[in-house]
Amino acid sequence: MKQSSENYLRLKEIRRWFGTTLGRHTLASEQALLDHLLPGYFGYHLLGLTTADGADGESLLASSPINQKAVMGLMPGDTGGFLGQVDQLPFSDDVLDVVLLHHVLEFLENPQAALREIVRTSLPSGHLVVVGFNPHSSWGIWRQAARFRGRAPWTGAFIRPGRLLDWLTLLNFRIERADYMNYRLPVARLAGEPRRDYSQGISRYANWPFGAIYVIVARKQVGMLTPIRPVWKQRSAFGPLTVVRPTGASANTANRDIAYNPGPGKPAPDE
């Protein structure tokens, strides 16, 4: 499924927004939380899917201890190792240990198709880290008034955390944690100084679900095998009975008894 021209435009707008004062502040806050989370997840392959530009996208993954890290380009002209579509990842099944989705789902026409691809390519017990804009926040209220101006990030479809949790649960992911941050209004002069240390700021001590940004970590579950009981053939307790032909004298007596059966009350010939 190729990205539409409208979708490319939305991706370009959000990428440009990350270069603004408010965007840089938001990116620094997200970087601080990811620096706190990613060192706890191990494996061999980490894939980053982000709307930030190449250098910032690679920086988001820097704290991970995984050696093989890659940021997939989403649009022509992106710098990086390769270019791909989020809903058609160029990987075989069950190969990725960690996947980072950084503000990607909000700007896709079919976010559920992208999640299904991540399910396909993630290893059993692999982790998915989703960074998104929270509609249940001051930013969500602001978006209702600003989205018609055609500017990022308000042109994105902010996904409710509860809805995302439902999608992930249906796709056999177990939710491990949900963190919220950024409780200020989306105004650059009110954003304050960027915090690159997650141990600072209100987000570290109060994880209220109306922060402008959420980070959800989920783990792919291994499918449970349903035991099949064997169907045993029903047999008689003693098995089929067989008649053994008698031999010798007993054979003659048996044959005589069988040949002459006088019936009840009548003597046998030798009586």
pLDDT tier, 196 (very low <50, low <70, confident <90, very high otherwise)? low
Residue 6, CA distances (Å) to 77, 150, 168 in order: 17, 11, 27
Work out the end-to-end distance of the chain between its first and last CA atoms, rounded to an integer number of angstroms: 103
- pLDDT at residue 21 greater than cutoff 80: yes
Question: How does pLDDT run across 204-253, given as a tens digit for each residue?
Answer: 566 788 999 999 999 999 764 444 444 444 444 434 444 445 555 544 54
Cα separation, 199 vs 245, whole angstroms: 95
Are 123 and 151 in contact by the 8 Å Cβ rule? The answer is: no
- pLDDT at residue 260 greater than cutoff 60: no
- pLDDT at residue 61 greater than cutoff 50: yes
- Max distance between CA atoms of the chain, in angstroms, equals 130
| Predicted pLDDT of residue 192 | 59
| Predicted pLDDT of residue 220 | 97
Question: How does pLDDT run across 102-132, given as a tens digit for each residue?
Answer: 999 999 989 999 999 999 999 999 999 999 9
pTM: 0.77
Q: Which domains does the chain have, with CATH numbers?
A: 5-220 (3.40.50.150)
| Predicted pLDDT of residue 49 | 95
